[in-house]
Structure formats: structure tokens, C-alpha cells
Chains A and B, each alone.
Chain A
């Protein structure tokens, strides 16, 4: 069976257990290349295209459109043309989907906590043990699940680390301070605590400003900067979003604000709203977000602009979405002259989710050169 390569249901994020195949994007007989989108999958959180992790000739579609299948279930089979149909049928018949118990073990070890300056921080670490790691820093009100389409794709070639910033996700509801500088100093201390001397930083929104500030404070700790829909590159910000997100108390109030994050607002499903509400309903979160939001983004102005101050000490990749309704995409005109800039015409503020495959390719290219 050495010549048969399975295509299986991917696992996007820690909580994904099953997904629905919405549609195949390729036909049987297609020569598939690595990274080619081959089918659309929808989970209770979000929909996305599955990219081929391996190359091969598509011989059989096992999953049909509309089918709900567990993670790692067989979706299709690739094999060279000299493999017979009978051999493929035999492979399909004998395929056993790995049980979810295996994942259970993985999940426990994937979620780690560490005390940094008296604040308990959740983070995940995946991928290779060696090499310069990629560190993901999410935005205001976000958590490491904002990277669910990015972490595993980049973990193939690099060690990847993603954290929940203080007061966010499953980290302690406590802030080290209310400025980008305070957060940047904290992330530096986090890197020290987990023995990371140097990393490629990937920052989204507020996390982009934090990443840039880290580069300004401690240049040697940063290999490259990868900033997505980043804050800190211009003055304006939609503070009615940051305030509305922080103060919404119900699904009905919150959903319209989450819809502002995407070019395609239909991506905001019930599960996404429920997950954000679960976080926001923890004691202390609402006040923390209101305070942080008004300190950083009060009255529609960003308090710090670290991305503008970056010098050519670091390679910089700046990615924006033209339909971003939170931070104006026009800010990319302020990008440092040596930065590589990519703007996606049909993506909103969550470009790393809406254009996951393209963003992953850009980051891989940028950190590998």
C-alpha cells in the first residue's frame, strides 16, 4: 500500500471533532500539488478549504458532499496510476479512522500553562523541536484559537508557539499594564520563561503592534516580523467595535460586532458567538476589556504607533484585508519602506482566517528566505 496516500479530515483547533464536507474543488484524475485547495469543509466554528498536505493523483472521492465526518476520517485517496481500482477499494474498506481518544491525549499535552510575573498564561507548542520558532500573538479580545487555520500548517516546518495574552482566552484575568509597551515587555518575559531566545513573530491587530514593540525593545529577540491587519501603523481605529465587543452582554448584542471582523459575515456561526460569550462572561473580563480598549483605542485613536518606528533591522511582512472594518487597510501606506506588503481584496480584519492558505504561504516564504 506504499503508493496510496489518504486525504483525511483535518483538525482545526483544539475543539474540532468533526466537519461537514461542503463540496469537492477537484475532480478524480486531477494531479494534486501540495497546497492545492481540494475540498471545502465546514465545522461548527467556521468554513475553510482543505489544502493538500501531500501530492498525488486523485483516484477516489470517499466523502460525499454534505457528509459529516470525524477528524482524521478518510475523505479521498491519491495513488499513482499503476495502483489498481481493486487495491484502492481494498484500502478504503480497511481504513480505520483513528479514535478520538488519541486526540484526547494530544489535547491535554497541547494546552500548557506557565506563570509569568504572577499571571497564569495558557500557550500551545507544536511542531519541530529545533529551529527558530514562530510565535503567534493575537489581537484585542482574541485568543490563540484565532490561529486555528495557521498553527498546524506552519508547524510542519517550524516549532510554533501561540499564547493567550494576559486577560485573554484561558490566561488569568489580569493585565501587566494597559499599554502596548507593557504587553510587549510581558511577552518578552513570557519568551524568557519558556526559554525562547529568538522567534519569528506573527501578530494580528493589537498583537501586531505588540510584536513591533518587542522588536523595538529587544531587537535580538526577533527574527522576522509578520504583521496581519496590524495596529500601530496609523492613528485610526474603529473604537465603536472595541467598545461594543467589550460591552456586549448577549448573543444578540455581540453577533453584529463579530460580523464586522469578516468580509463574509456568514462565517460568524453560533459556535463562534457562544465561545466568545463564554470568555466574556468570566468575572472581570468585561471591565478588563473596557479599560484596555479605552487605554489603547479610546476615542477612535490608537495610543501607540510602534510599527511606523521599525527600522530595517528586521524583515517585515505586512498583510491587510481591503474589507477590514476595524483598522483601515489604507494604513499600509505608512509601512516602513523595506516591508513586503500584501493586501487581499476580499478579506476583512480576520484575514489570517479568511485567507488562511494564502497567509500561511506568505509567512512560510517570509520566515524561510
Chain B
């Protein structure tokens, strides 16, 4: 039965269903139980924004509050994954990945390769990404390009509650390490989600709007900004097609080339900083493999090459908006349809 729930509830439901279905699924992270040692309900908090609320009451000690040491518990999750568990570790803000680089990039991502395909690391590291939460430079980055760069890691960044639940269940069942990027400003975003379990394969992009004049390739919160831009452009007679990548690694190159071959024009919208970004990656793939289909220059709309500002006014200017996307589409189409 489908009903409307928020992205936060979709994450909670995916964790709950997989913990119920598979006893090897465990959760660990800072304050994900949250009330341990305090008076009252033991999972009163359920994580910094309440994503795991209620799960401790149901699944007990398969959820573990960890010390405030990301290096330690991300390493523990990866080790547990090598020993037959399917851990889901919450990194709270994925900006904290810095202190887990060896565990994630040099160990988890390499085990399968270093052990001749015999070692599996079915771990999910999930946490918040993105700006707009007034949480300043160290808690607001879109580090998707950094994770995507590393072979051996899978990277997911959903835009809707439906996709979030299906992709998270698939990520938990996947035998490789997955970094699951949740945009904090989409936690309250609601959409129709079936009650039961379902999966969406990793590496399948999704057309969220059909159009013939220009392709917008994007992911995460920027899908919604692009839809806003599309509504403005439609009034002027420009119909854009929007491709939501959903998974950044593996990347659905076929769908990327297909939409550009259809429209002949491309705008990449990425909340990450511009250098070595998802936008520049997609642009280079299209320039190499679909150059003949292009009728105009590829455009990129990204955050600027600066840290995320703490000033609310500056932070709002930092995040790509619909007006910038509209302008970029007009540059790409040169006013022509």
C-alpha cells in the first residue's frame, strides 16, 4: 500500500524492514539510540535528527551507540562486514569522512581487489550531505565527487522518499561498500512510498521529466531545483528533460548519452564544488562519447569553489538555484528550440 511519508521515515522504514528480514543487519553510530544512560525512553533521540527513532525499541542491541570516534566505529563496521554482518553505520555528517579515509578508501574499497574477489564488504555508510541547513562549512559539504573517485566504493544520493527506501534496501543487500548520501534538506520531503520492501538497482538513472529541447543531468536536492527551473522554462516554450542520476557510482552512462542524443543540449547541475565534480565528470563523458549529438556548448551549474558560508544570505547564494539553471539552459540552447 502506498502512502505519503517523508524521506526521513523512508530511511527508518528501510532499516526497520531489513533488520526484521535479516538478522545480520546491524546499525551503529553516534547517538543513533541516543537515550542510553539517560532517564526515560532509551531511544528517545534516535540520532541527531531522529532518523533511527523507534528502532532500538524493536531491534534492541542490534543498534549500538558508539564513542565519538568515527575512525574507530567506521573501522569496526567494515571489519564486521568482512566477518559476515551487514552493518549500516551512520556517519551523521558525511563531512566527517576525513578521519575515516584509510578505513573507507584504503581498506573497505580495496578488500575485494586485494583478496582476489574472495572478500566481501557489505557495509553501508550513511549520513547527511549538502548545504542550506545553517550548519556551517564543516557540516554542509556535498562530497559526492570525492567518494565517486574511488574504485570499489558505490555512491548513492537519492532525491525522493520512494528512491531512498528502494536504494537503501538495495545498498544493504549489496555485497560492496556503499556510501549513502542523504540530503538533510530533503529529510522532510514527502512522497508516495509502498509499505513493503522493494529495491531499486544501483546504477540506474531515472528520467523525472520528459523534454526535447535540453537535458539537465543532476541528482539529490538539485533535482528539485531543476524541476523548478523546468516549470519556469516551460512557460517560455522550452521543454527540458531531467535525468536524476540517483547512483553516482556505478554511473548510468547509457541513460546519460541517450538523453543528450535526444535533446542535443546539456546542462549539468551539481551542488558539489565545481572542480573534479559530478558535473565535470558527466560533461567529459558526453564530450567524449556524444560530441556529434551536441548542438551547443555544455553548461554547468555548481556551487562556487569556496567553503559553504555560515552567513545565511551567503549560504543561500552558494547553493545553485532555479534562476541560475534557467540561465544555463538558455545559454545551452542559445534561445533556439
Q: Which B residues have a C-beta under 8 Å from some C-beta of A?
A: 1-2, 162, 166, 194, 196-201, 204, 206-207, 210, 234, 254
Q: Which A residues have a C-beta under 8 Å from some C-beta of B?
A: 68, 113, 120, 122, 170, 173, 249-252, 270, 274, 278, 281-283
Chain A residues near B204: list those with CB within 8 A: 250-251
Beyond A122-B1, A249-B201, is A281–B166 a contact (Cβ under 8 Å)? yes
C-alpha spacing A227/B89, complex, angstroms: 54
C-alpha spacing A330/B207, complex, angstroms: 39
A270 touches B210 (CB 8 A): yes
Beyond A122-B1, A270-B207, is A278–B201 a contact (Cβ under 8 Å)? no
B198 touches A278 (CB 8 A): yes
C-alpha spacing A173/B197, complex, angstroms: 11
- The distance from the CB of B19 to the nearest CB of chain A, in whole angstroms, is 15
Closest 10 CB pairs of A and B: A283-B197, A282-B198, A281-B198, A170-B1, A282-B196, A270-B207, A281-B199, A270-B210, A283-B198, A283-B196
C-alpha spacing A90/B199, complex, angstroms: 53
- The distance from the CB of A182 to the nearest CB of chain B, in whole angstroms, is 23
C-alpha spacing A68/B196, complex, angstroms: 34
Which of A122, A170, A250, A283 has a CB less than 8 Å from the CB of B201? A250
Beyond A270-B210, A278-B194, is A170–B2 a contact (Cβ under 8 Å)? yes
Beyond A113-B1, A250-B201, is A173–B194 a contact (Cβ under 8 Å)? no
C-alpha spacing A283/B198, complex, angstroms: 5
C-alpha spacing A282/B194, complex, angstroms: 8
Chain A residues near B201: list those with CB within 8 A: 249-250
- Contacts A252-B254, A274-B206 given; 15 further ones with Cβ under 8 A? A68-B234, A113-B1, A170-B1, A173-B196, A250-B201, A250-B204, A251-B204, A270-B210, A281-B200, A282-B194, A282-B197, A282-B198, A283-B196, A283-B198, A283-B199
C-alpha spacing A120/B194, complex, angstroms: 14
Chain A residues near B1: list those with CB within 8 A: 113, 120, 122, 170
- The distance from the CB of A292 to the nearest CB of chain B, in whole angstroms, is 18
- The distance from the CB of B25 to the nearest CB of chain A, in whole angstroms, is 15
The chain A residue with its CB closest to the CB of B169 is A283
- The distance from the CB of A341 to the nearest CB of chain B, in whole angstroms, is 38
- The distance from the CB of B160 to the nearest CB of chain A, in whole angstroms, is 12
C-alpha spacing A170/B193, complex, angstroms: 12
Chain B residues near A251: list those with CB within 8 A: 204
- The distance from the CB of A103 to the nearest CB of chain B, in whole angstroms, is 14
- The distance from the CB of A226 to the nearest CB of chain B, in whole angstroms, is 29
- The distance from the CB of A41 to the nearest CB of chain B, in whole angstroms, is 17
The chain A residue with its CB closest to the CB of B252 is A250
Chain A residues near B210: list those with CB within 8 A: 270
C-alpha spacing A252/B200, complex, angstroms: 14
The chain B residue with its CB closest to the CB of A271 is B210
- The distance from the CB of B30 to the nearest CB of chain A, in whole angstroms, is 31
- The distance from the CB of A164 to the nearest CB of chain B, in whole angstroms, is 10
- The distance from the CB of B137 to the nearest CB of chain A, in whole angstroms, is 38
C-alpha spacing A100/B196, complex, angstroms: 27
The chain B residue with its CB closest to the CB of A15 is B192
- The distance from the CB of B17 to the nearest CB of chain A, in whole angstroms, is 9
**Contact sample, A vs B, 16 pairs, CB 8 Å cutoff:** A120-B1, A122-B1, A170-B2, A170-B194, A173-B196, A250-B201, A250-B204, A251-B204, A252-B254, A270-B207, A278-B198, A281-B198, A281-B200, A282-B197, A283-B196, A283-B197
C-alpha spacing A68/B162, complex, angstroms: 26
The chain A residue with its CB closest to the CB of B205 is A251
C-alpha spacing A251/B204, complex, angstroms: 9
The chain B residue with its CB closest to the CB of A280 is B198
C-alpha spacing A299/B134, complex, angstroms: 62
The chain B residue with its CB closest to the CB of A282 is B198
C-alpha spacing A122/B1, complex, angstroms: 8
- The distance from the CB of A84 to the nearest CB of chain B, in whole angstroms, is 33
Chain A residues near B199: list those with CB within 8 A: 281, 283
Chain B residues near A122: list those with CB within 8 A: 1
C-alpha spacing A68/B230, complex, angstroms: 14
In the complex, which of the residues A122, A170, A283 has the most CB atoms of chain B within 10 Å of its own CB atom? A283
The chain B residue with its CB closest to the CB of A273 is B207
- The distance from the CB of A233 to the nearest CB of chain B, in whole angstroms, is 34
Chain B residues near A270: list those with CB within 8 A: 207, 210
The chain A residue with its CB closest to the CB of B162 is A278
- The distance from the CB of A225 to the nearest CB of chain B, in whole angstroms, is 31
C-alpha spacing A281/B200, complex, angstroms: 7
Chain B residues near A113: list those with CB within 8 A: 1
Chain B residues near A170: list those with CB within 8 A: 1-2, 194
C-alpha spacing A252/B204, complex, angstroms: 11
In the complex, which of the residues A173, A249, A278 has the most CB atoms of chain B within 10 Å of its own CB atom? A278
C-alpha spacing A278/B194, complex, angstroms: 9
C-alpha spacing A122/B207, complex, angstroms: 29
The chain B residue with its CB closest to the CB of A68 is B234
- The distance from the CB of A118 to the nearest CB of chain B, in whole angstroms, is 16
- The distance from the CB of B243 to the nearest CB of chain A, in whole angstroms, is 12
